[in-house]
Amino acid sequence: MSSNETYDVPMFQYTVPIFIKSLGGLQTVLTKAQAHCTSSGLHESDLLADRLAPDMFPLVKQVQSACDNAKNAVGRLTGITPPVFEDTEQSLGELIARVEATIAYLQTVPESAYAGAEERQVTLPYFPGKYMTGFEYAREYALPNFFFHLVTAYGIIRKNGVAIGKADYTNGLTLRDEESEMLKNRRT
C-alpha cells in the first residue's frame, strides 16, 4: 500500500483480538493433550519432542514460536518492548502457562499504543537493511507466521491421537441469530 491509502481496520483490531482468540484455542488444545497423556499413557516428553517432519520444530518450539510471534508483533507494531520468555518449558502445563502469560501481556497493551502502527517501519533482524510498513508486516509476516506455528502445533497434537477438531482450533465463531437481528432492525 502506498502512504496515501487508508486502512479500513485499525492495527489493534487486525491483530490483537485474533492473537488472543487463537491462543485461547491453543490453550484448549494443550489442555486436551495434557488430559490425553494422563489417560492414554502417552509421555508428555514424547509429545513435546514430536514434529511433523524431521526438519521442522518439535511441538514445544511450535508453541513457543506462536507465543513469541504474537507478543513480538505487538512490540514491533507499538514500539513497546515485549517481555522475554525463556524457552525452558518441559511440560504441557508449562506451555499452557506460557500461552496464558502471552494472552495476559497482549491484554495489557492499550489500543491507543497502536496509533500510527500501519505506517510504522518494521525491521526484522534476518532482513538487514530492509523494512515493511506495520500493515505489510502484519499482513505478510506476523499473522501468517503466527498461524503457521499454531496449526503445526495443532497438527502434531492431533497426529498423536488427541481428540481435537477444527472447533478447538478456531475457538468459536462470532455467530449471530438472523431472526434476532431482523427483529432488532425492525425496532430501530
Domain CATH code at residue 34: 1.20.120.450
In a domain, 51, yes or no: yes
**pLDDT, tens only, 11-54:** 999 999 999 999 999 999 999 999 999 999 999 999 999 999 99
- What pTM value is reported for the model? 0.89
In a domain, 2, yes or no: no
In a domain, 176, yes or no: yes
Q: How confident is the model at residue 1 (pLDDT cuts 50, 70, 90)?
A: very low
In a domain, 3, yes or no: no
**3-state secondary structure at position 79:** coil
In a domain, 6, yes or no: no
Average per-residue pLDDT in the chain? 92
**pLDDT, tens only, 136-152:** 999 999 999 999 999 99
For residue 34, CA distances in Å to 4, 9, 48, 147 come to 50, 37, 11, 22
pLDDT above 60 (res 169) = yes
If one counts the domains in the chain, the total is: 1
For residue 110, CA distances in Å to 33, 46, 103, 105 come to 33, 39, 13, 11
In a domain, 5, yes or no: no
Where in the sequence is the domain holding 60, given as residue range(s)? 11-187
In a domain, 4, yes or no: no
Asked whether the beta carbons of 77 and 70 are under 8 A apart, the reply is no
In a domain, 1, yes or no: no
**pLDDT, tens only, 152-164:** 999 999 999 999 9
User: Which set of grid coordinates corresponds to residue 151?
Assistant: 496449526
